Structures are given as structure tokens and as C-alpha cells.
Amino acid sequence: MINFTVGPVQSSDAVRAIGAEQVPYFRTAEFSETMLENERLIKKFAHTTENSRVVFLTCSGSGGMETAIMNCLNKNDKALVINGGSFGERFVELLTLHEIPFTEIKLEYGKALKPEHLVQYERQGYTAFLLQKHETSTGVHYDIDLVADFCTRNGCFLIVDTISTFLCDPFDMEATGAGIMITGSQKALACAPGIAVMVLAPSALKRIEENKCSCQYLDLKLALENMERGQTPWTPAVGILRQINVRLKEIEAMGGAEVEIARCAELARYFREKLVQHDLPFEIVSESLSNAVTPLHPTTQSAFEIFLKIKDEYGMWVCPNGGDMKDMIFRVGHIGYLQKEDYDKLIAAFIDLREKKFI
Ligand SMILES: *Cc1c(COP(=O)(O)O)cnc(C)c1O
């Protein structure tokens, strides 16, 4: 199978080799060294300030989203949240569950965030802002500078879900002034699923210190205390943390995050150009594309039927959408261990389906 989904994605041979090894005991100086190296490289690739910290939680990316809210927000906050798809909706559900007062900015599927969406919320006493830098469900890459400026002017604590954009699109955590960025092991980090990575700026560390977290397992005070020596409070997904280490060093050896971002951008450009060249019956639904994924609306067939056909008859996974987008949108990812030849095969499959009058 060739995997064009947005996660789990294909891993490099070196990362997969780690998956085949015995999982080592982890309360050791060697494992601590691996963890501290992971922290150092994540900070470098995310362009953080020196006094920012990183924690690795054993949960998927959504666990990182909930952890951010439980540790850094409380009932005295007044949050703004962008909801332009299923991941924005998740933030809304989490804020509701944890009883954080909030206002939702609902954007139509596929629409970009514009200055006029924010104007009415200026100087209204908002204390926090939550968004996906890239709303993966509809493939919309939001204007983070616009949000960062709003947060600076209004003194908002910024929580950015970069789960599907870290290592795909440029991101400078220090420049945005974000308090927290969250990513996960199975997106562009291209490892097995199971680890959420959280980068915490000093503003987040202060909130964590002052806030009470009503969950022991996801209490960042404990995670931070342990991470001082490269450890975790509980047994982590040791094997995946070792995969992350190999992957981060691979990226470093290639020339760093910018080289990986350029590689991803080139795959996206290549695929999008082929779509146009062959005049395939798909419309790109997003006003503002990330390099991570191309969201497509097929004009002649159900998106989900195309996903099934490509999986069952051509041995490839494109990424289906759920809920009310199931028949409308499917996505083609550009993250993980993929090459241009893989896209040639996918394009050939689409052309074949058109010849057979399926699309
Ligand atoms: C994948 C993803 C998540 C988290 O999903 P998990 O299945 O919990 O790993 C959250 N936000 C965005 C933007 C994502 O792409």
C-alpha cells in the first residue's frame, strides 16, 4: 500500500528499524539523553526561545490539546476559538467540557481567516486564543501572523495546534509569541502514533505553575519536573520516543526543518501541477493551502467511493473525510516518506478511473 493519508504516514527505514527492536528499559542515563536531545531538536525546529520547554506525553495529539486546556486555562479566562472544521470543533468541545468561558469564531469549510473575522473581538477582554494553524479536515492553513498580532494587542495567551503543519509549513514560535504549540508523532514527524509533543513558552510555564490541573496523568507540573532530567512521570511510549529521536536527527542531517518543509512543499506542488495538467475532475476546496495536504472535492463521484476504490483496486490510501464531509471531500497528503514517483502512480490511478468512467 502507498499511504497518502495525513497520519499515520509512511516512516523512513531507520524509523521502522527502531520499531522492530526490543523496547529498552528507560530509567537510565541513556534514555534521558535521548529525551533531552529530542527536546533540543524540537526547540530548534520550532524556533523557540531558549527558556522554552518541551514535554512528550503518551497520548495522541488530541491528548495534547486537552492537556493544554486543563493545565493553562481556568474559569477566569475568556477564550476565542477558531472553528473551521473537525479539529476546531474539538477545541470547542474541550472548552465546553472543562467549563472555560469562550466565544467561537465559526468559519465556513475551506474559508481562510481574514482581518474582518477578528475586528469585533478587539478590546473585549479576551485572555486566550486557540486555533489550528492548519485545519487538517478541510486543508485550510490559517494566517497565524494575523492571530499573533491580535494576541499581542489584546494580551491573549495563544495555544496553537500545529499537529499537521509542524515540519510542513514555516513556523516560528518565538515570532508568533505563542504560549503553547502542540504536535503529534504520526503526522509530519512520521513515526508511529502515540506521542503528543508540547512546546511550552515561559508564559505557559507561568500558567501551569499557577493553575490547578484536575488530572494526575496529564499534569504538566509533574511532566516538567521529570523532564528536567529527561524523564517522564509514567512509563512513556519508549519505542516511539526513540523513533522520534532517529527522525529528528535524520532531519538535522538533511539540513534542518527548512529542508524538510521545502521537500514537503515540492511534493505538494508536483501533485497539484499534475492534477491541472491532466484536467482531473477534482476541485481544490481550500482558499489557503498548507503544504501538508491537498483537499479535493470530486465533481463527478462521491469522495468516499473514490477512497474505497483507490484502496481496494489500486493499493493506495488517500485520506477520507468523516461526518458531513464524507462524500464531499477526500484529501491527498504530502507528509511522511513519499516520493514523486508515488504521486505518478496515484495520478495514473485517477486517469484509469476516468477512462473507466468511474469519475
Ligand atoms: C491529527 C490532528 C489532531 C490530533 O489527532 P489525533 O488523532 O488525536 O492524533 C489534532 N489537530 C489536528 C490539526 C490534526 O491534524
Q: Residue 3's closest CA among 329, 318, 339, 343?
A: 318
- Quick one: pLDDT at residue 258? 98
In the numeric block, the cell 528499559 is attached to: 25
Q: Looking at the CA of residue 136, tell me the nearest atom of ligand 1.
A: 15
Encode the chain (359 residues) as per-residue pLDDT tens digits.
999 999 999 999 999 999 999 999 999 999 999 999 999 999 999 999 999 999 999 999 999 999 999 999 999 999 999 999 999 999 999 999 999 999 999 999 999 999 999 999 999 999 999 999 999 999 999 999 999 999 999 999 999 999 999 999 999 999 999 999 999 999 999 999 999 999 999 999 999 999 999 999 999 999 999 999 999 999 999 999 999 999 999 999 999 999 999 999 999 999 999 999 999 999 999 999 999 999 999 999 999 999 999 999 999 999 999 999 999 999 999 999 999 999 999 999 999 999 999 99
Ligand 1: distance of its center to the CA of 356 in Å? 35
Q: Looking at the CA of residue 135, tell me the nearest atom of ligand 1.
A: 13
Please name the amino acid found at residue 206: K
Name all residues whose Cβ lies below 6 A of ligand 1. 7, 60-62, 87, 132, 136, 161, 163-164, 184, 187
How far is it, in rounded angstroms, from Cα 245 to Cα 168?
18
> In a 3-state reduction of DSSP, which class is residue 347?
helix
Contact 144, 132 (CB under 8 A): no
- Quick one: pLDDT at residue 262? 98
The strand ranges marked E within the chain are 2-3, 53-58, 79-83, 102-106, 128-132, 134-135, 140-141, 157-161, 180-184, 195-200, 282-284, 293-298, 316-317, 319-320, 330-333
Query: CB neighbours (10 Å) of residue 22?
Result: 6
- Quick one: pLDDT at residue 246? 98
Ligand 1: distance of its center to the CA of 256 in Å? 23
Backbone angles phi, psi at 297, to 5 degrees: -105, 110
Ligand 1: distance of its center to the CA of 61 in Å? 5
Mutate to test the pocket of ligand 1, among 5, 87, 191 (most ligand atoms within 8 A of CB): 87
Ligand 1: distance of its center to the CA of 174 in Å? 23
How far is it, in rounded angstroms, from Cα 214 to Cα 236?
20
DSSP-assigned states of every residue in 92-138:
HHHHHHTT--EEEEE--TTPPP-HHHHGGGTTS---EEEEESEETTT
pTM (whole model) above 0.95: yes
In the numeric block, the cell 487538517 is attached to: 136
Q: Looking at the CA of residue 62, tell me the nearest atom of ligand 1.
A: 8
